[in-house]
């Protein structure tokens, strides 16, 4: 039997220089194990947004690849990411999805840990001898850094700082994305979670795939009013683009006028936002703030896709968690304005429910086609999967190639990074 790393030594056979993906990329369990080690254990993985950890002691459960972690704000206000596994006999120390606590105690033998993961106490410690080192038995902690509220963790102590991994263009787009706070801090309002029988890379591809939108989301488009429907016809207008931002990241600009939400504030307001305009005016918000809030409620005009697990998608975060080679969990995190008008946040919630999640008008159709990809790979093992669309007219962008709005430039950016990480 070949050792896994030998089996996958020819990376060109898995992702070819002319942008074709081998079928085994979606269905080989050994390759999946390699990816978890070489990618998810070695790079920055998104785990939480700042607003989910509002206070000292606030925590939530998350994942870094296959590893369950606790993300918690300690007494000093620092965010720690801890592997959810007691150092004694491996039991999870927390099974509450989110909440507030002063410590984590293992339910099996009572080992107690502080919010920074340090081992605080254990029953009858004398049986370990006088030289037992509590300092060496804390919960395993991950290196943790954040940018503009987005918290990432990594098992790799050697990796570059988060801001260097993101790079200047990604940071610029993150800052632009956060303008949808409309002058208020961006806050997580809730999340939809659903599992799809597909390889994680099928999802990774999708957030940078504008080509599917008018086909898969026709029924969503039909539920929109005229001018809202116009806004989603970005393939017809052809003004958008996809750009490789380096390190596997990419941006897909669908509505260029909505890259910077502080600009074009004089543009006409869509019909569907008129009731909100009236409500904000009636609540006494000054006119310039009304325009800014209403514009922000509509979200940004782009999807920013970070390798390997998070996407800033128009108005929400899309997070993928690989479960096994043919199963991936998806979270659609709804965002709103901390301290902003309740009416604006209500509209954000209803817009999120309209498209996203298990009962949205969009996500179920996405989930269906992703599953169909996974089912389709059972046939024609020798046939490649094409991500070469739009190679014909790519031009140089700031950090990488820029292609047509329907180009698969973002997928190629991700697979380029995939190859880089799998080759070392």
Partner 1 sequence: MNMISNVNDLGLLQKVSAFLWAEAALLDDKDYDAWLALWLTEGFYTLPIGEGEDFDNQLNLCHDNDRMRRDRIQRFKQGFSISSAPPALTVRTVSRFVIDSAEGDTVTVSSAEHVIEDKFGRQRVWAANMKHTLVVSEQGFKIRAKVVRLLNSDGVLNSFSYLF
Question: Which residues form the interface with partner 1 (CB under 8 A)?
Answer: 97, 189-196, 216, 218-220, 222-223, 329, 334, 342, 345-346, 349-350, 352-354, 357-359, 361, 363-365, 367-369, 371-372, 375
- Give least dist CB 221 to partner 1, A: 9
Report the alpha-carbon distance of residue 51 to residue 296 in Å, rounded: 18
Question: Nearer to partner 1 by C-beta: 9 or 223?
Answer: 223
Contacts of 160 (CB under 8 A, 6+ apart): none
182 vs 400 by CB, closer to partner 1 = 182
Minimum separation from the CB atom of position 91 to partner 1 (A): 21
Least spacing, CB of residue 226 vs partner 1, in Å: 15
The two structure tokens encoding residue 140: 């395993």
Q: How many CB atoms lie within 10 A of CB 159?
A: 15
Phi, psi for 322 (deg, rounded to 5): -65, 135
Secondary structure (3-state) at 3: coil
Q: How far apart are CA 167 and CA 149, in angstroms?
A: 16
93 token code pair = 């120390």
Q: Whole-number minimum distance, CB 212 to partner 1, in Å?
A: 11
- Nearest to partner 1 of 40, 316 (CB atom): 316
Which run of H or of E encompasses 241? strand 241-246
Say if residue 308 is preceded by a cis peptide, omega within 30 of 0.
yes
Q: How far apart (Å, rounded) are the C-alpha atoms in residues 48 and 252?
A: 23
Q: Could you tell me the smallest distance in angstroms from the CB atom of residue 349 to partner 1?
A: 5
Apex CA 175: angle with CA 404 and CA 417, to 5°?
50
Shorter beta-carbon distance to partner 1: residue 82 or 189: 189
Nearer Cβ to partner 1, position 75 or 375? 375
Q: How far is the CB of 98 from partner 1 (least distance, A)?
A: 9
Q: State the Cα–Cα distance between residues 149 and 309, nearest whole angstrom.
A: 16
Whichever of 218 and 239 has its CB closer to partner 1, that residue is 218
To the nearest whole angstrom, how small is the minimum distance from the Cβ of residue 284 to partner 1? 20
Q: Long-range contact list for 286-295, CB < 8 A, 24+ apart?
A: 289/183, 291/265, 292/182, 292/183, 292/261, 292/262, 292/265, 293/182, 293/183, 293/337, 293/340, 293/341, 293/344, 294/269, 294/344, 295/182, 295/258, 295/261, 295/265
Question: Whose Cβ is closer to partner 1: residue 196's or residue 290's?
Answer: 196
For residue 116 the two structure tokens come to: 């920074």
CA triple 71-74-79, angle to 5 deg: 45
Nearest distance from C-beta of residue 220 to partner 1, angstroms: 8
Q: Which is nearer to partner 1, 118 or 377 (CB)?
A: 377
Q: Please report how close the Cβ of residue 115 comes to partner 1 at its closest, in angstroms.
A: 23
Which of 132, 361 has the CB closer to partner 1?
361
């Amino acid at each position: 039997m070949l050792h896994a790393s030998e089996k996958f030594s020819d990376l060109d056979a898995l992702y070819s220089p002319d942008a074709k993906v081998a079928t085994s990329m979606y269905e080989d369990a050994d390759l999946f194990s390699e990816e978890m080690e070489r990618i998810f254990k070695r790079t920055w993985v998104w785990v939480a947004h700042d607003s989910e950890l509002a206070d000292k002691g606030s925590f939530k459960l998350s994942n870094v690849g296959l590893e369950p972690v606790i993300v918690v704000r300690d007494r000093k206000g620092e965010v720690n990411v801890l592997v959810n596994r007691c150092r004694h006999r491996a039991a999870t120390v927390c099974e509450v999805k989110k909440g507030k606590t002063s410590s984590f105690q293992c339910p099996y033998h009572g080992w107690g840990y502080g919010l920074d993961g340090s081992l605080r106490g254990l029953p009858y410690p004398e049986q370990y001898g006088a030289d037992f080192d509590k300092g060496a038995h804390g919960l395993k902690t991950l290196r943790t850094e954040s940018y503009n509220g987005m918290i990432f963790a990594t098992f790799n102590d050697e990796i570059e700082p988060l801001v260097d991994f993101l790079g200047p263009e990604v940071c610029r787009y993150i800052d632009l994305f956060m303008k949808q706070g409309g002058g208020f801090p961006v806050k997580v309002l809730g999340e939809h979670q659903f599992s799809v029988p597909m390889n994680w890379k099928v999802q990774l591809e999708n957030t940078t795939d504008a080509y599917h939108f008018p086909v898969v989301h026709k029924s969503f488009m039909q539920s929109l009013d005229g001018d809202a429907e116009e806004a989603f016809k970005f393939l017809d207008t052809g003004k958008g683009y996809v750009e490789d931002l380096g390190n596997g990241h990419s941006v897909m600009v669908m509505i260029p006028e909505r890259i910077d939400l502080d600009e074009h504030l004089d543009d006409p307001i869509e019909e569907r936002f008129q009731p909100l305009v009236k409500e904000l005016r009636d609540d006494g918000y000054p006119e310039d703030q009304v325009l800014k809030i209403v514009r922000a409620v509509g979200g940004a005009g782009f999807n920013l896709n970070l390798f390997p697990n998070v996407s800033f998608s128009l108005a929400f975060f899309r997070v993928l968690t690989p479960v096994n080679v043919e199963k991936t969990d998806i979270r659609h995190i709804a965002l709103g304005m901390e301290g902003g008008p309740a009416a604006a946040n209500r509209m954000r919630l209803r817009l999120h429910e309209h498209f996203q999640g298990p009962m949205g008008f969009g996500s179920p159709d996405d989930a269906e086609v992703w599953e169909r990809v996974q089912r389709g790979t059972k046939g024609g093992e020798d046939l490649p999967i094409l991500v070469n669309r739009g190679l014909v007219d790519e031009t140089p962008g700031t950090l990488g190639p820029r292609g047509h709005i329907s180009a698969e430039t973002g997928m190629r950016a991700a697979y380029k990074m995939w190859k880089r990480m799998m080759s070392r």
